[in-house]
Amino acid sequence: MLLFGRDGVPPSAREIGKEMMNSHSTNLKRVVITGMGCVSPLGRGVSTLVQGIEAGRCAVRAMDDWKHYIGLRSLVGAPAELKDEKLIPRQSRRSMGRLSLFAVQAAQDALIDAGIDPDSNLTTGRMGCVVGSTTGSAISISQAFETMLPDHDLTKLSSMQFFHCISHTATMNVAQHLKLNGWVMATSAACASAMQAIGAGYDLIRLGRQDAMLCGGAEELHPTVTGSFDVLFATSVKYNATPTLTPRPFDRDRDGLVCGEGAGIMLLEDYDHAVKRGARIHAEVLGYHTCSSGDHVSESSRPAMVACMHEALRQSGLEPRQVDYINAHATATLQGDKEEAEAIREVFGDSVPVSSLKGYLGHTLGASAAIELSAALAGMRQDRLYPTLNLENVSPECQGIHHIQGAPEQRAARIVVKNSFAFGGISAVLVCRMV
Partner 1 sequence: MTKEEIVTLTNQVFEESFELAPEKLTPQAKIFEELGLDSLDIVDLIVALQKKFKVQIREDERVRTIRTLEDIYAFILALKQEEDPKK
24 binds partner 1 (CB under 8 A): no
**Minimal distance, residue 172 CB to partner 1, in Å:** 14
**Minimal distance, residue 123 CB to partner 1, in Å:** 20
**Minimal distance, residue 357 CB to partner 1, in Å:** 37
Count of residues engaged in binding partner 1, rule: CB under 8 A: 9
Calpha distance 367→109 (Å, rounded): 15
Residue 163's φ and ψ, nearest 5 degrees, are -70, -25
Calpha distance 218→417 (Å, rounded): 21
Active-site entry in 38, 191, 308, 432: 191
* Annotation says 363 is catalytic: yes
Calpha distance 105→8 (Å, rounded): 57
**Residues 50-69 interacting with partner 1 (rule: CB under 8 A):** none
* Annotation says 58 is catalytic: no
Spatial CA neighbour of 404 closest among 335, 334, 326, 347: 326
**Minimal distance, residue 261 CB to partner 1, in Å:** 25
Residue type, 411: R
Calpha distance 96→180 (Å, rounded): 16
**Residues 150-179 interacting with partner 1 (rule: CB under 8 A):** 155-160
Q: What's the CA angle centered on 50, arms 45 and 53, to 5 degrees? A: 130
Residue 43's φ and ψ, nearest 5 degrees, are 125, 175
**Helix, strand, coil shares of the chain as percentages rounded to 5?**
40, 20, 40
The helix/strand/coil state of 294 is coil
Active-site entry in 273, 329, 402, 403: 329
Active-site entry in 363, 398, 402, 432: 363
Please say which residue, 25 or 91, places its beta carbon nearer to partner 1.
91
Calpha distance 417→429 (Å, rounded): 7
94 binds partner 1 (CB under 8 A): yes
Q: Which stretch binds partner 1 (CB under 8 A): 16-24, 87-95, 113-121, 292-300?
A: 87-95
The residue from 91, 294, 319, 321 that contacts partner 1 (CB under 8 A) is 91
**Minimal distance, residue 429 CB to partner 1, in Å:** 41
Interface with partner 1 (CB under 8 A): 90-91, 94, 155-160
Active-site amino acid positions: 191, 329, 363
